[in-house]
């Protein structure tokens, strides 16, 4: 939730509404954890699922071109091990830039 809050661009009016929704959902999660009330967490989950569906619908309407040109598609992720964090990146097209070791 903190990541969502931190990524808001407050130059747009909708960011203030999203901020209020995110902080409300975050408060419900925290209250639910401390008071051991699953219905609080479920309420936050419903809010976030509704927002997720809204973002999916808006993304379908987005006809803008990519912001960056001449870039490759790369998947990146993190895995957690005992006392270690591993970063993984993968090119789905198996394109290699530079030397192949």
**Cβ–Cβ under 8 Å, residues 72 and 64:** no
Name the domain count of the chain.
Answer: 1
Tell me if 26 is assigned to some domain: yes
Tell me if 44 is assigned to some domain: yes
Give the whole-angstrom CA distance, residue 40 versus residue 28. 5
Tell me if 45 is assigned to some domain: yes
Tell me if 86 is assigned to some domain: no
Domain of residue 53: give its range.
2-61
Tell me if 68 is assigned to some domain: no
The 10s digit of each residue's pLDDT in 6-31 is 989 999 999 999 999 999 999 999 99
If one compares 89 and 59, the residue with the highest pLDDT of the two is 59
Tell me if 51 is assigned to some domain: yes
Tell me if 81 is assigned to some domain: no
DSSP type of residue 73:
-
Side-chain-side CA neighbours of 4 within 13 Å: the count stands at: 17
SS3 1: coil
Tell me if 56 is assigned to some domain: yes
Overall pTM > 0.75: no
**Cβ–Cβ under 8 Å, residues 25 and 42:** no
Give the whole-angstrom CA distance, residue 63 versus residue 73. 19
Give the whole-angstrom CA distance, residue 13 versus residue 41. 27
Q: Tell me, what's the pLDDT at 65? A: 81
């Amino acid at each position: 939730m903190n990541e969502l809050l931190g990524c808001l661009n407050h130059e747009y009016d909708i960011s203030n509404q999203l901020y209020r929704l995110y902080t409300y959902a975050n408060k419900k999660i925290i209250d639910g954890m401390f008071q051991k009330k699953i219905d609080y967490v479920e309420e936050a989950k419903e809010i976030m699922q509704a927002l997720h569906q809204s973002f999916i619908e808006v993304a379908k309407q987005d006809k803008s071109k990519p912001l960056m040109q001449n870039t490759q598609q790369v998947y990146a992720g993190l895995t957690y091990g005992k006392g270690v964090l591993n970063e993984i990146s993968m090119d789905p097209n198996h394109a290699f830039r530079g030397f192949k070791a």
